[in-house]
Structures are given as structure tokens and as C-alpha cells.
Structure 1
Amino acid sequence: MNRKDFFRKGLAKAFSVMEEGVNEISETWKTATEEKGSEDPDTKKEESPSSEDSIAIPLPKPEGKKFKGFRNLQFPPGADQTGKRFFSKCTGCGDCIYACPYSVLFPVPDDVTGKHFPRMDVNLNACMLCEGYPCISSCQTGALKHYKKNESPKFGKAVGNFQHCINSRTGEKTCEACAITCPIPKVVNFKGNKPTFSKDCVGCGQCVSSCPTFPKAILVK
């Protein structure tokens, strides 16, 4: 056999193998296509997601109760604890607001009377318990009255949230800011490294302002 015949027969055999492979692939593809086309349409319908199974888009929730005003507000120094006298005599003039040297008081609108009553939030801005209480002295209507001898204001009581306290994180008595800034003697006491607040607390909020953590480890309620 010469070289020319050898190459001719080799190429013929190679093409024969390729043709068999192509035919086999074609048959496989044809069979798969027929099987797919012969699927039960009812079965396909069941497998397709229905409107009930589709993802539901949440509708906006109806509005709840309307906003009823500010929360956790305190009356100014010199107001009665119930606020009955305060609301009946306060004209909303704002003199006490301007008299406060620390800008603790701010006007809060009242929809019923149309007045703007002075209020404060000691968790945001502490009352400094000024000597002589200039806010009380500025009031000319009797809505705010000076305290009697040995009488103290009562805005609330400090409550600790020890998990946010620096001492809780360090395990030691690292911080004493609340005790140092408290204007009332022996109100802040420590049990180990945990600060506690006695019933003599007036709720001025100075301990809250001095607390270096965020969220605050102290809250006046």
C-alpha cells in the first residue's frame, strides 16, 4: 500500500467515526425533545406558580393612633405636681423660658387652649436647680411658686441601665460621673461598681447629662 492510499483510508475512517458521533447526538437530542413535548399539560399547569402561591406585596398598614404630643415632659420648677394650678394660671407668656439661663424650658403647643405652655425634658437638657430659681421669679401669674424652706422640686427619679454603664463593661469602678455631678448629697451610691439612686433623687437630669455613654446608662422617669 502506497502512502497516498494509506492517508485516504485513514481520513475515510476518521470521517466515519465523526459521522457516527453526530448521528448519536442528534438521536439523543430528538428523544429528549419528544419527551419534553409529551409532558402532561395539566402537570405543567400544576407545577407553574398560581396567583395564590406568588409573592404577596404587603399593603401599607392603616395608621394607628394619632400623635398625642411630646413624651416624658416635666413641668417647670415651681409648678404643682399634678399641673392643675399650672395649667389654670399659665398664660403662655414665655417669661420663664426667657429667664432660664440654661435654655432648659421650651414652649409646647396645646391644641385645646391654643396656648404654648413651658415644659422641659431633663433627659435631653438637665435642670440646673438654679439658686433663687429665676424661672419662678419671672412668673407673674402664680403658675410657678417658690418652694418652701427645705422643700425640693420633684421632676422624677433617675433609673440606671447598668448594661450601658462603663463600669459594667470594664468590670471595675471606672466612672463616677453621675455621683460627682449630682447636686443632692448621698443620692448616688455604689454597690461595688454599680451606681444606685436613692428616693431623695429629684430627677433634675444632671446625672443623665454627665453620663458619657451612648445610649445613656441613666434615665429620669
Structure 2
Amino acid sequence: MQGKNEQYYKAYLSYNRISRRGLLRGVFHPIERAERSRESRLAPRPPFAAEENLFLAACNGCGECVVACPYNLIRLSGQKAVLELDYAACDLCGKCAESCATHALHPAFKKDTEFRPHFSENCLLKQNQACTLCQESCPQQAISADLQLNHDLCNGCGECKLSCFVSAIQLTLTN
């Protein structure tokens, strides 16, 4: 596996400016800094993606992740990898991250697509009818009987959406 290149570190340092005060602040308040530095995704990215600025700087549009995905869920848009969970779910196998030479995708990054389900009014449970397909299909058991989502358990795989035969579940990016 190839090491992180100069372009990656330049992008990292341009995004993470650290002063002496900031360094001490980061030591004493690391969670607060991490929450502030989190940036919204411009598009749905594959799992194991770096933060958006780093991803945009590191991804060179080579397409190796597209080829590596066993379910054809990744495509290039604007020379950057995007994830589409319209017809299949992502099992977060990590093959995309293993194939990424620039480390825009890397197994050390978060194993999450950052998609979360939203249940429309077409949901049978919301209409007081019996249905547990989304709950049963969720490998993380992140959906409760009253359609409450445990955001800590959910990894955005998309199994719930695919299991819903009335198309009442839409996946949206968490920001």
C-alpha cells in the first residue's frame, strides 16, 4: 500500500491550522474541536471517506474504488467518488478503501456512509398497520418498533430502504 502523499498532507494542514493556543485547546477540549471541524458533505461519499476537504484534495478520480466495489454502488461524478444506494445496500466491506491509492478512502476513517433513513407518511407503521421489515432487515438493529433511529448504531448501509416495499424510506445525508 502506498503512503500518504504530499498533496494529502498539504490539504490536511491547510484545513487544520494549529496555533500553540489551538494545540492546548485541542488537548483540553478534543471533542469540542472535532465537532467544530466537521464539515458537511457536498455529495454522498463511500464509507471510509476522509473529511470532505481532505477527500476532495486527495481523490484524484482514478476510479479504482468504482472497480473494487462488488455491488457497483460507487461512481465518479466531477472526478470524485460518490455513493448511490438506490438499488443495493452497502455491506461496508472496505474493498473501496483498500483499493484507494491516495487514501481519500482509508480503513482508518469512519466506517459509515453518513446516510440516515427518514420515514415518510407512507410508512405502514405510521398508518397503524403491522410491518417490521425495516427493523428486521437492519443488520445494526438501529431501528426501534416506534421507528426511532439509534444514530450511534446506524451505519447508513441502506438495507432498511431496500426492504421497504412501499418506498416509505428515503436516505439522506447527516450534516
TMscore range, shorter length: 0.5 to 0.7
Post-superposition offset of 1:134: 0.6
Identity, % of aligned positions: 29
Whether the 8 Å contact between 1:74 and 1:122 is mirrored in structure 2 is no
1:153 to 109, 112, 115: 112
Q: Report the number of matched residues.
A: 131
2:46 to 56, 70, 76: 76
The equivalent of 2:73 in structure 1 is 104
The equivalent of 1:212 in structure 2 is 165
The equivalent of 1:188 in structure 2 is 143
TM score, norm. by length of structure 2:
0.66
Aligned with 1:136: secondary structure?
helix
For residues 87 and 149 of structure 2, the distance between their equivalents in structure 1, rounded to whole angstroms, comes to 19
After superposition, what is the alpha-carbon deviation per residue over 1:116-166, rounded to whole angstroms, capped at 9, x for unaligned?
Answer: 211013355432222xx1111011111111136xx53251322211x2112
1:178 to 126, 129, 134: 134
For residues 93 and 80 of structure 1, the distance between their equivalents in structure 2, rounded to whole angstroms, comes to 16
Aligned with 2:115: secondary structure?
coil
For residues 96 and 63 of structure 2, the distance between their equivalents in structure 1, rounded to whole angstroms, comes to 10
In our comparison, the structure showing a higher alpha carbon Rg is 1
The equivalent of 1:197 in structure 2 is 149
Aligned with 2:97: secondary structure?
helix
Post-superposition offset of 1:87: 1.2
Unaligned runs of 5+ in 1: 1-71, 110-115
Indicate whether 1:165 and 2:126 are aligned: no
Whether the 8 Å contact between 1:123 and 1:219 is mirrored in structure 2 is no
The equivalent of 1:122 in structure 2 is 85
The equivalent of 1:138 in structure 2 is 99
**C-alpha root-mean-square deviation of aligned residues, in Å?**
2.3
For residues 219 and 210 of structure 1, the distance between their equivalents in structure 2, rounded to whole angstroms, comes to 12
Post-superposition offset of 1:106: 0.8
For residues 43 and 87 of structure 2, the distance between their equivalents in structure 1, rounded to whole angstroms, comes to 10
With over 3 angstroms needed to count, the CA separation of the structure-2 counterparts of 1:206 and 1:147, relative to structure 1, is: farther
For residues 95 and 168 of structure 2, the distance between their equivalents in structure 1, rounded to whole angstroms, comes to 30
For residues 147 and 153 of structure 1, the distance between their equivalents in structure 2, rounded to whole angstroms, comes to 12
**Stretch of structure 1 that moved more, 118-127 or 135-144:** 118-127
Unaligned runs of 5+ in 2: 1-41
